[in-house]
Amino acid sequence: MKISCLLLDDDPLVLELLQAYIAMTDVLEVKAVFTDPLEAHSYLTSHDVQVLFSDVTMPHLSGLDLVRALRQPPLVVLMTSFPQYAMEAFNLDVIDFLLKPISLDRFLRSVSKVVSLIRNSSSSEAEIYEQILRPGSFFIRTDSQFVRLHYRDVLYMEALKDFTKINTADGRTHLTLVNLKNLEEQLPTGMFVRTHRSYLVNANHIESVSTQEVRVGGHNLPVGQTYRERLTEGIIGRSLIRRQN
């Protein structure tokens, strides 16, 4: 059963981002979304919610005052751009304090704490972190929307300065304002391999490898000298059928 949560922030873009992050997991269910803390307070007094993700600084009522005003508050994760509120927040027994801008990795680590507490799990937070991502897909942000991509459909990713171009098996490309290094750090270990400082390829789509190139989905991509040994030993070596004496 999913864990119910309420999202509260006076910035609609933050709420949009949180909902996209939550859509990437199989453990949270958004019951309500508010930009007005007074409306959120009214909802929380009449509905059961297991987790509250709340901004700290808002008009009319701060996130800190909202928590104080609730007779039986749910588990609380506070979010803000101002680190000076951290001590006051933890004095209210919040389970986490997120500094904006909130990265996917940091958000999921907070969710891991939530899951561990509610489900009384014997698994470590690191193990829970690996389990909560929805298997098989991830979201990226493009110009005006969040787009879900399935790992199996991604051929390779190409660095374009601060952007990354993601090429999929259906011939489409998606441009996202996340650099290749950050993407690599958040993708499943072993599924994608760096073949060049500008290319990250899906190991399942590699068709052939030479000393200079790797062929992926009909595309010939360069192999950098720095990455050649890792590619041949780490990827090819694991599945190479060898001659038996």
pLDDT of residue 169: 93
pLDDT band for position 238 (cuts 50, 70, 90):
low
Q: Which pLDDT score, from 0 to 100, does residue 187 have?
A: 81
pLDDT band at 245 (very low <50, low <70, confident <90, very high): low
Locate the DSSP E strands across the chain: 3-8, 28-34, 51-55, 75-80, 96-99, 137-141, 146-150, 154-160, 163-168, 173-176, 192-196, 199-202, 206-209, 213-216, 219-222
> What would the pLDDT profile of 154-204 be if each residue is shown by its tens digit?
999 999 988 999 999 999 999 998 999 988 888 876 678 899 999 999 888
Strands (E), 12-95: 28-34, 51-55, 75-80
Of the pLDDT bands very low, low, confident and very high (cuts 50, 70, 90), residue 239 is low
> Which structural domains are found in the chain, ordered by start?
3-132 (3.40.50.2300), 137-239 (2.40.50.1020)
Q: What is the mean pLDDT of residues 1-16?
A: 93
155 within 8 A of 216, measured Cβ to Cβ: yes
> Which pLDDT belongs to residue 189?
64
Please give the distance of CA 74 from its chain centroid, rounded to a whole number: 23
At residue 120, the 3 state secondary structure works out as coil
Residue 140 CA to residue 164 CA, distance in Å, equals: 10
Contact yes or no for 27/111 (Cβ under 8 A): yes
The pLDDT, as a whole number, for residue 121 is: 64
Query: How confident is the model at residue 244, as a pLDDT?
Result: 63
Hey, which bits of 91-245 come out as E strands?
A: 96-99, 137-141, 146-150, 154-160, 163-168, 173-176, 192-196, 199-202, 206-209, 213-216, 219-222
Confidence of residue 138 (pLDDT cuts 50, 70, 90): confident
Residues 6+ apart with CB under 8 A from 103: none
Give pTM, 2 decimals. Answer: 0.59
Q: What's the confidence (pLDDT) of residue 236?
A: 64
Tokens 């949180």 -> residue: 18
pLDDT given for residue 139 in this prediction? 84
Between residues 242 and 66, the one the model is more confident about: 66
Q: pLDDT band at residue 137, thresholds of 50, 70 and 90? A: confident
